[in-house]
Amino acid sequence: ARQHPNPDPSISTCPAGSQPPSRPRFPRRLSPARTKPAAPPPNLIACCHPPTGSTLRISDASAPAAGHASRVASVPAAGEEMAANLEDVPSVDLITEVLRRAKCSSKPDKRIILVGPPGSGKGTQSPLIKDEYCLCHLATGDMLRAAVAAKTPLGIKAKEAMNKGELVSDDLVVGIIDEAMKKPSCQKGFILDGFPRTVVQAQKLDDMLAKQGAKVDKVLNFAIDDAILEERITGRWIHPSSGRSYHTKFAPPKTPGVDDVTGEPLIQRKDDTAAVLKSRLEAFHMQTEPVIDYYSKNGLVANLHAEKPPKEVTVEVQKALS
């Protein structure tokens, strides 16, 4: 603050014909996100001194006097930046999110693991579970890629391992899961997909959760015969630009090999072949099935009939989690 005493109150420093206001009237401060501050009257700062003994706060002056350098740079605080961002969010989106969080507040916490071979329907059920129970969906592959892209300390270590052609260690993956669980979206719990794949990984996950006073609540086992999986996988066709999925038997396109919406050709993923599926199923039976036995000892496994239509599987999921 600076003092501006008038050495002789009888002497006016304002131009002839102008009258100083009885007291300075500074413009009302508005959020910097909404508007630029209005300039004060030209004779207010340049001409008129405050009464003797009064204080002029430089931060109250919205614009400097002509010919004078600005002494204070207005830098919004973190809270103001957040408020500015919220002001740009459409009201309907804000209301929707508030209502969603209010609904989620009454939901019980759940930590769920999905286990099943490729094509068993985990990807179909996980978004339904996520929305119903207000959980976050943790897919280890996506989390690794996100950590590498964000250059987090764990992401840097993961990238170093991948650049050397090495597998990312179990401890590193568990650490990335631990990081992801701290996000606000995981406040009510998580759905873990793609991990653990081995008993050792399951033990490391349990140890990490135990340090937080938490534990796995349910393991959903998507049980299905290998022969049915081969029929499901090898019949899948994809429209690459939109991600629309078709199946030659269960959900065929109107015209074989052509997307219903765009008329563009469909493709089959390289992994969606009988040979690749056979290799992946062998790895699943050898490594991941023991994980089901590991959790079964604690009564955490719910076996689902994954060969059923999706809606019927959803009913089984709801019963298992109720």
DSSP letter for each residue of 54-116: -EE-GGG-SSPPTTS---------HHHHHHHHHHTS-HHHHHHHHHHHHHHTTSPPEEEEEE-
Looking at residue 93, its pLDDT comes to 83
Looking at residue 316, its pLDDT comes to 98
Beta-bridge mates of residue 247: 236, 251
Looking at residue 20, its pLDDT comes to 52
Looking at residue 165, its pLDDT comes to 76
Looking at residue 209, its pLDDT comes to 96
Q: Does domain 103-235+272-321 have CATH number 3.90.1720.10?
A: no
Looking at residue 303, its pLDDT comes to 97
pLDDT tens digits along 182-228: 988 999 999 998 899 999 999 999 999 999 999 999 999 999 999 99
Looking at residue 195, its pLDDT comes to 92
Amino acid making up residue 73: A
CA atoms of 34 and 54, how far apart (whole Å): 31
Looking at residue 48, its pLDDT comes to 40
CA atoms of 186 and 59, how far apart (whole Å): 42
pTM of model > 0.75: no
CA atoms of 146 and 12, how far apart (whole Å): 67
Tell whether omega for the bond before 24 is within 30 degrees of 0, i.e. cis: no
Looking at residue 79, its pLDDT comes to 46
pLDDT tens digits along 13-48: 445 554 555 555 555 554 444 444 444 444 433 334
Looking at residue 23, its pLDDT comes to 54
Looking at residue 60, its pLDDT comes to 38
Nearest-CA neighbor of 320 among 103, 100, 125, 106?
A: 125
The residues that are catalytic are 122, 197, 236, 269, 280
| Cα distance from N-terminal residue to C-terminal residue, the chain | 64
Mean pLDDT by 10 residues, the chain (322 residues): 49 49 51 47 41 39 40 43 70 84 86 94 91 91 85 89 83 91 91 92 96 96 94 90 86 94 93 89 91 95 96 96 92
Q: Which run of H or of E encompasses 39?
A: none
Looking at residue 320, its pLDDT comes to 97
Looking at residue 84, its pLDDT comes to 56
CA atoms of 197 and 276, how far apart (whole Å): 18
